Amino acid sequence: MPNSLYVGGHRPRKHIHVSITYKTQKIDTFAIDPSASLTSIIKELCISHFACGNPANYCLRLVETEELVTQERLRRKLRDASNLKLVSSPAIMAADMVKDLTPEDQTLLKRTIFMLQKYLKEDEFVDEFIARSGLEKLQDVIITAQGNTLAYALTSLQTLMEHDRGWDTFSPSFISTLVSIIVKQNLVNICRPATAIIIKLVVADPSNPSSAIQCYGFDVVNRAISAQSSFLPTLVHRLSATDYLLQLNSMHLINSLFRHVTERARIGFIEMLDALDIRTVVLKLMQSSPADELKAQVVEFQRLLILEGHRRKRTPVRVHKHEHAKSLKELWEWSEIDPEEVPDWQRLGFTSTFPHRDLSRVGVLGLGALHSYAQQNREAYQKFFKKQQEQVPERRCPFARAGIEVCEILADFWEVSTGYSTTTSYQPLLLTFHEVFAITLQTFFRLWDEMEADATGDDINRVSALVRSQFKHSASAGKPLDPNLLSSFRTEMLETPYSIVRERQLKNLEVEDDLMTKLPVRNLRERFYKDSYETVKRQRISCLTKGAWFPVIREKGRVKGLYRFYRLGANHKFLHYGEFSEVLNRRPLPDELSERSE
C-alpha cells in the first residue's frame, strides 16, 4: 500500500498520487488528500519519512518548474504523477541567498543572482528576502556588476517590483545609476529590465491610484534624467536601431515619461522631444511595419500627441505671458506690414485689437501653428500680406482667422478637440501637424480667391466648410505607410480644381447635414463624447471589479466541469482569477482567486 496522509482518521474521497524526493531519498508514490493542511503534510514527511528535522524549515516544490507548492496550489494544481521535492523553506533559502550576494566569489554571486530571478516571483520568498535586507544587497550588486551578472540582477529587481510592496526606499543615487545604465549599456538583456524598472518608477506617482507604491513619479526620475543629458537622445536614437527589443523598450519608456510628465517639467520635456525630431523618427518607425507590440506603442504615442494637443488647445493665450507676447510680436514683425509701428492686429486678420479673444477657440495650439507657419514660410508669409494690400479691403483674406479655422479643422479630424482617440490605426499625417497645417492654410487662401469670398460677410465660414470637406477627403485618401503620403496630400489639397472640390462637398452634404459643421454643434458633440466616454469607462470598470464566471477553453475545446471566475483587483492593475468545479451561487472571496494576469 502506498504511503499516504489522511486527516482526522478519515479516508479522503479522492487523493493524488505523487512522487517526493528529498536529497538522495525518494518516495515513488505518496497519496495526498488535496484538502489536507500543507503544514501537516510537510510535518508527516519530515518526521515519518525523511527524518530531516524541523518541518518549519522545509517546503514542497514541483521538480520540473521549481514552483512553490502553497495551500492553494495543493488544492487547485496538483495532479496525479506530479513530481515534488522537499527543500528548504523560502525563509531559509532567502537567508542563504542574501548571504551569498557578496562580490568575493563572483561565480557564486552570478549563480545566486541567476536563481533569484525565479524565486522572486513568489510572494513568500519576496517577504523573507526583503526582511533580511536582500533588496539593499541586490542594489549593491547592480551598482558594481557588469555583463550577465548585471543583467540577472536587473531582471531580479524587475521581478521583485512586480510585487506591490518593499521597493519604496530607493535612493536618488541608485535611481541615477539605473538611468546611467540605460545610457551606457547597449546589450538588450541589460537595457530591457533597466527600462522596465524606470517605467515602474515613473508610474509610481502620488497621483496614480492604481499604484500601491506612490513615492516616486516623473519628477523623481526626471532629476536623475536631468543629470544625464544624453538620456533622451539615446532613447530616441534607439528607435532607429536594428534591434527590435531596443526599439520597443525605448518607445515604451518615452511613452511612459510623456504620459506622466508633470506640469512643471512639461514644456522642457516637449521641447526636448521636438528638438530631437522625435515625430520624424516615429514616422519612419511606423513606415517600417513593426510587429504588434511596437505598433501598439506607436499608436500610444499618437494618442499622447492628441492629448497634448488637446491640452494646448484648451490653454488660453495670455498676452501678458512672455512667450505668448513674443510669438504675437514676431507674427507682426515678420509680416513686414509696418514693423516699426504698434501692431495693428486687425491687419493681421484678427477681428479686433485683442487677438487673444479670437485665439480662445484654439488656444496655445493655434498660436503655435500660426507662429510656426510664419517662421517656416517667412517669404510666403510676407508675400501674402503684400498681395492682400493690393486687394480692396472686402476681398482681403483674414490670415489669423483663416489659420484659426484651419486649426479647428485639423483638431476635429484627429479628435484633438475632445482629447479622446480610440483609433488603433496609424495616423502619419498627425506626426507632421505643422506641415499639414501649412498646406491646409494655403488651400484656404486658394479657395478664398477662387470663390471670390467677401471678408465683410459670412464667407469665411463657407470657405472653411469647403476646406474641411477637401481636407477630410485628402487626409483619408492616401495609404498610411506610403513614404510619399505628405507629398500626395499636398498635391491633392493644392492642385484639385475648385469645381471638383465644390462638387464633392455638395455630394457629402446630401448625406451629412451641414448643421454638424457648426461650431455650437461641434462643441456640444465634444461635451457629449467626453461625458459618454467617462460613463462607459466607469461602467466597464464597475463590471470588471464585480467579476463574472466563464467556461474554461483549452486547445481541444471547452473543458467540462471546470469554470473560471475573473475579477479586476482593487488597484485596477491585475486581473485575478481562479478555477472551480462548479459555478458558485456567490462571488468567490479574494483569497480564492489565486492566479492573476496583467
Per-residue pLDDT tens digits for 92-144: 999 999 999 988 889 999 999 999 999 999 999 999 999 999 999 999 999 99
Alpha-carbon 289 to chain mean position = 19
Whether residue 70 is predicted with pLDDT greater than 70 in this model: the reply is yes
Sheet with 557-568: list strands edge to edge. Answer: 548-554, 557-568, 575-580, 595-597
Segments making up each domain of the chain, as ranges: 3-88, 330-512, 547-597
Rounded Cα distance, 129 and 152, in Å: 16
| Angle of CA points 449, 453, 455, to nearest 5° | 120
Q: Are 180 and 131 in contact (CB under 8 A)?
A: no
Q: At 6, is the pLDDT very low, low, confident or very high (cuts 50, 70, 90)?
A: very low
User: C-alpha cell of 362?
Assistant: 484654439
Cβ atoms of 224 and 179 closer than 8 Å: yes
What is the rounded distance in angstroms from the CA atom of residue 440 to the CA atom of residue 366?
A: 14
Nearest to 92 by CA among 64, 63, 52, 65: 52
Is the Cα dihedral 281, 283, 289, 294 positive or negative? positive
Q: What is the pLDDT of residue 510?
A: 66
* CATH number of 3-88, picked from 3.40.50.300, 3.10.20.90, 2.30.110.10, 3.30.230.10: 3.10.20.90
DSSP β-ladder status, 557-568 and 548-554: antiparallel
Q: What is the mean pLDDT of the chain?
A: 89
* Closest listed residue to residue 337, CA positions, set 455, 329, 318, 352: 329
Q: What topology does CATH give the domain 547-597?
A: PH-domain like (2.30.29)
The dihedral built from the CA positions of residue 483, 485, 491 and 496, taken in this order, carries a sign that is: positive
Q: What residues contact 346, with CB distance under 8 A and at least 6 apart?
A: 352, 353
Q: What is the mean pLDDT of residues 243-262?
A: 92
Choose the weakest-confidence range: 20-29, 176-185, 210-219, 231-240.
210-219
The whole-model pTM stands at 0.78
Contact 221, 175 (CB under 8 A): yes
Strand partners, 566: 548, 577
Cβ proximity of 148 and 110 under 8 Å = yes
Instruction: Read off the pLDDT of residues 268-304 as tens digits, 9 standing for 90 and up.
Output: 999 999 999 999 999 999 998 888 899 999 999 999 9
